[in-house]
Amino acid sequence: MTVGISGPAWPTCVNPKNDRLSVCLERVTDAEKSLNQHLASIKSVLAETREMLTELRTAGPPANMTSQQIVETNADNQPLALREIQGRSGGTANADGVLAAQRAALEQSAADIAASLGITIEDVMKAYDLFIKADADASGQLAIHELKPTLEALSDAVIPEQDFGRILQQFDKNDDGYLNFEEFLFCYCHTPQKQLRHLEERVYKKEHRLPSDVRAKVVGVRTSSIRSYLTSELVQMQACLALPAVLVLFLAFMFSMELHQGNSVIQGMEHAFKTDIEENANFAFSGVVPFENGRMGHKNIYDVNTFADFWSWFDMGLVSLLFPESWDVSEPRVNTAALCTAPVEALLGTGWTFNASVLSLVGNTSFDLGPLCDDLGADPDYPEDFFRKPPYLFFNSIVAGLRLSQEQVPLEECQGADLHLRAYDSKCLQDPGYWIEPDLDEALGMTKSRLNKPNASTHYFLSQWTQAEVRKQAKALENNAWLNQRTGKVEILFTTYNAHQHIFTALYVYFFVNRGGHIHKFIKPMSVWVDPYQSVWSYVVDSVFALMVLKLFFEEARELLVNNCYKRGLRHGLVNYFGSFKNLVDWLSILYSFVIFWMWSQQVLLLQELKSFLETGSTEVQGTWADPADRRRHFELADKVSVSTQNFQMAVAFYPLAVGTRFISAFAGQPRLALVTDTLFAAAVDIMHFGVVIGSMILTYTVSAQLLFGREVDGFEDFGRTLITVFRGLLGDIDYEAISRVGRPAAGVWFVTFMVLLNLLMLNMLLAIVFDVYSSVKGALGDDAETFWSQTEEIFRRWRGLRMRTRISLEEVLIPLE
């Protein structure tokens, strides 16, 4: 269907609203005026063509024509019809030859005539044949009664009397009621049917194309083209209008996480705890502890490789940190105090117990300093406002104390039963894993089915206990072989509260014992804000975030239910809607948002429960709570908060990626912003095929690296870690000195071939594919592509026009076309 001068009215005037009828009529009037102007220009072209025909007539016969082929002209300089020539010759035998010569001469000039009039050679010759046939009296002219049937036969359409009178009046110059062949041609070109056909042919010829706006007004535009254009404009406009909403959603989420997480403070807090455990919990001192000051501890937590090392580290390193008793003083004062401490007192301070008869046999001091020890002076005056109870790391109060627990691995039949009592004479245990250093998600938490086994129960060391009491309990566990071959995992949990920042911290220290005899160590402090809403801005930002998610939800739900399922039916509506990748991504991001809401609500409830429970404790009670059940509940609540915090952090860490997909969808509505995504979509097929090649090569080198370096180099222990290490190697991040430990020749061959094939060749080929497609996409975009600012201005202009009632919305224009 074509919308134009011969078709139905313009779409904007179909069922217009009453208040917009005048605007519609003005547009129609403007279009009619423009059409008349262009028709006048076409008439001038036809007038020039008429003059050209006159010149051709007066110029005489072509040089290659014989005397028999010369066509005589009448006194009015009009060509005589061939039948008149034949009549004058008396119907002689050479009349057919004259007719053939005349037709040959016309065929030679027909090309110029057709080009001038904008018709075809076939039209010229057909008009000539019909003219000769209609000229019954061979006068070389057609009378009015002969003209009309001939024009209708030539046009294959009935010519209204009104149009015929207009044509006759225009081209019958002498008003005698007769037209010669030249005038007949001009009449034919001005019949309504031929005029429209003539304009269409000129418009669709590349060398004779009218301007697009003129072509749309004169010839018309296909309804499907208008519908496609309007649909495209609506899609682009909706995508651009979605960009501010997505931006507000992302900013609200970002500020919400900044206000709730406070990563700078939390990271500083956790760094202090972890550094204290790594650097200050030492053992293997150079002095004779406890009779001398230890001076320097040569080992730390990462040097714990046996059960004896664990108890040494726990006794000499950890207890001194987590159960402070007094204000710390300088090293000379500590050394002097150690010399003036009796051996019995030193041993009692480490948890040893003695009979009274033995105590009387021991001297007073390790060294005989005499009265010098009496003049050491008192301890420094500490600030009582901050030191009513000894704090941990100056600012943290100890809550409940310390929980020590372990997982015990059950027994099983030995793998090599035929070698039992020959190469091995003990029992065998299940494999707990832990062959390589565990990750955080594997480390946090304990398997309940393996806890509190006989001789491996969980023990609690209460806050405000003296170091001697803690060490006494630890020595009892060591004496009972609390750690043994059945131990698979040891957990130490220590909780604190920082009133200055209103932060609760659960400090986890893990020891993993694999069946090879190695002990992996892992430290993880988990700090949380006790009150997640510390300012009114937290409520404001969260409200904006929730409202934006709900807005997107209702918009997508309306699009799904109203525009698809209601109109197309449930099944076809769902298929049509979710057949679009954009809609699928939008719903995934919305569902992800609801998951975030649910997890955050659970986190807030847990923090509220923790806060309420902490309010029931007392700093005057050892262990904060007198009831052991309350202390157990406290540590269990700390576990729940820690696991919930870790899971929530993992969930929100990937949420920005889901929101980022909405950015890509919004960018698709702006040609210049969509350049990158269009490039990726256009290159997707090539990238997928190239990915098969480079993926196979990566897998090849991954397996090779795991076999070659897996036993010697960290990062190649299993397939997953090796794959990540190889991928890092694609970017040049690979330690050649480390992999060369397996042998420089083998490592050199692997490294050189890997860098040449993958890093230098294939990565650059991938870039070449993308750059080539990018150049094509950018070239197709053109320099005149709409910019983001111009599109924004256009959308604003449409919106303002709708507000001022000077425009019709694109949706209203599209409705009659569907």
Of the candidates 95, 75, 67, which has an alpha carbon nearest to the alpha carbon of residue 83?
A: 95
> Which pLDDT belongs to residue 731?
87
What residues contact 354, with CB distance under 8 A and at least 6 apart?
A: 344, 347, 348
Tokens 């995934």 map to which residue? Answer: 588
> CB 722: neighbour CB atoms within 10 A?
23
Neighbours of 697 (CB within 10 A): 16
Residue matched to tokens 């991040």: 733
- Residues in Cβ contact with 739 at an 8 Å cutoff, skipping those fewer than 6 apart: 705, 708, 709, 713, 747, 750, 751
**Rounded (5°) CA angle 677-678-681:** 85
pTM above 0.85, yes or no: no
Per-residue pLDDT at 297: 77
Whose tokens are 């002219």? That residue is 141
pLDDT on residue 777: 87
Start-to-end C-alpha separation, the chain: 13
pLDDT confidence of residue 215: 57
Neighbour-count burial of 360, counting CB atoms closer than 10 A to its CB (0-12 exposed, 13-18 middle, 19+ buried) = exposed
Residues of the chain with pLDDT under 70: 1-32, 34-35, 38-110, 112, 115-118, 138, 171-176, 193-221, 287-295, 332-339, 341-388, 817-818
The three-state DSSP-derived secondary structure of 386-441 is: HCCCCCECCCEEEEEEEEEEEEECCEECCCCHHHECCCECCCEECCCCCCCCCCHH
CA distances 147 to 125, 133, 170, 197, 515, Å, are 17, 11, 14, 21, 112
What is the longest distance spanned by two Cα atoms in the chain? 169
Q: What is the DSSP secondary structure assignment for residue 577, as one 8-state letter? A: H
Q: What is the dihedral of CA 549, 550, 552, 555, to 10 degrees?
A: 180
